[in-house]
Amino acid sequence: MTATDDADADRILEDITVVDLTTFVTGGFATLMLANQGAEVIKVERPELGDDNRHSGPPFVEPDPDYDGPGRTADENGESPYFWTINYDKLSVELNLKTDSGLAALYDLVEEADVVVENFRPGTAERLGVGYDDLRAVNEDLVYCSISAFGETGPWSSRPGYDLLVQGTSGIMSVTGPEDGDPVKVGLPQTDLITGMWAAFGIVGSLFRRELSGEGDRVEIGMHDAALPWLTKQAGKAFVGEEPTRMGTKDPVLAPYQTYPTADGYLNVGCANQKLWAELCEAIDRPDLIDDDRFATNPDRVDNMDALEAELSAVFRDRTTEEWVDLLADEHGLPVGPVYDVPKALDNEQTDARDVIREVDHPALGTVPVIEHPLNYEHAEAGFDGAPPLLGEDTEAILRELGYDDDDLATLRADGAIPGDD
C-alpha cells in the first residue's frame, strides 16, 4: 500500500505501515512525524464522526460542493485547518471496532502493518480487543505504542487528561507568565506535541531494535512523564532547593536573555556569554555598562536583572525593531531578533527561503497549506506528499487491497462496521 503515487522511494520509513487508532493531537502528531519520513499512516476512525480533531474549530473551511469522490467532511461546518496540521499525508479508514466484522477487518489491517499507535485511556484498548496482546497475536513483529495522560501505573493512571491539565501538573504553567501574574498556559498544545515527539522517537527506536533482533515491542508513554524532562534549567534550580518562578520573558540563569520593547514592537536579546555581552554594550553605544559592577559577570547580571532591564529598555525604545535587527544582528552578528505574530512567522523571507510552507492538492478543497518538518538529509528524502484525508476517503480502497470484494464490503456495511453507501 502507498499513501501517494509519487512517494519518494528514498524516504527512510518508506516501507513502514502505521495503523493510527488515535484521536486528537498526541498520537496524531507522532504518526505525522512518521508520515513525514515516508511511512504510510492509516487513520482508523469512528464511522461518521471520525477524529475529534476534525471538529476543532472555528475556523472551518467549506469543501467544494461539486466534489463527489470518496470520503466526506465530518463536521457540518466544514474542514478544520487545525486537523490539517496534524494529518498531512495520511489515509482514512472508517471502522466500527465495536462490531465483530469491523474488529476482524482491523486485525486484517494490523496483520500487514509494522506499527500500531493508540491513545485510549488505560484499559480501553483491551476492552475493545485492540490491546497489545490482542494485536501481537495477529502480528508478533508489531511495534505497538500506547499513549495516555498519566501512564498506565500510579494513582493518576485512570484520570483523563488534556494538554491544559498536563501543563499544570508538569510545572510548566508555574514558570510561564508575568512575574506577578497568574499561571499561564503556553499558547501551543505543548505537552501534546512533546508527547508526540517522544512517541515517534520511541517507535523509530523500536523499529531499529526490530531490525537487529527480529522482535517487536511495546512503547508506553504518559504525557506527564513526557513533559518533565523538558523542564531542564528549572529542574536544575529545584534540584538544589530553589523554587523556579514566573519571570515573564526573563531567564532564570542567563542575562540579558529576554524581550525588550522597541519604538514599534519588541526585540528578543539573547547575549548569553561575556563576549556577546561586551559586544552588545559597544554596539548600542553603552560601553559604560561593561564596567558597571552590577553587570560585570553573568551571575551579577542575573542578580541585578531588574536594573539591567531598566537600562536596556531605555536604549531599545529609541529605535524600531527592524532598525535594531539590522544593526545588531546583520551588522554586528549579535543574537537578537524580532517578535513576530503567527502570520508573519509563516510568511517571511527566511521561512520562504527554506521552503517550509508549501501547498498540496486536496480533492475537495483545491489546495491546502502544509507546514513542512525541519529534517533535511544528505542521502534521504523527507516531506509530505499528500493532503490530509477526508473522513473515510480510503476505506474501500484499502479494504480491497486486503482482499475484500464487493460481497465482503456489503457485509461490512450491513453489520455497521463501515458506513453505508451515500
Q: List active site positions.
A: 192
- Say how many Å lie between the first and final Cα of the chain, rounded: 25
Q: Are 333 and 323 in contact (CB under 8 A)?
A: no
Q: How far apart are CA 103 and CA 95, in angstroms?
A: 8
Q: Are 223 and 148 in contact (CB under 8 A)?
A: yes
How big is the chain by its Cα radius of gyration, in Å?
25
Q: How far apart are CA 259 and CA 309, in angstroms?
A: 9
Q: How far apart are CA 116 and CA 172, in angstroms?
A: 30
Q: How far apart are CA 388 and CA 190, in angstroms?
A: 22
Cα 407–Cα 93–Cα 26 angle in degrees, nearest 5: 160
If DSSP codes are grouped into helix, strand and coil, which group holds residue 20?
strand
Q: Which residue has the cell 514592537?
A: 265
Count Cβ atoms below 10 Å from residue 409 Cβ, excluding itself.
18
DSSP string, 264-314: SSEEEEE--SHHHHHHHHHHTT-GGGGG-GGGSSHHHHHHTHHHHHHHHHH
Q: How far apart are CA 75 and CA 49, in angstroms?
A: 8
Long-range CB pairs of 200-206 (<8 Å, 24+ gap) are: 200/29, 200/30, 200/31, 200/33, 200/34, 202/145, 203/30, 203/34, 203/115, 203/117, 203/143, 203/145, 204/13, 204/34, 206/143, 206/145
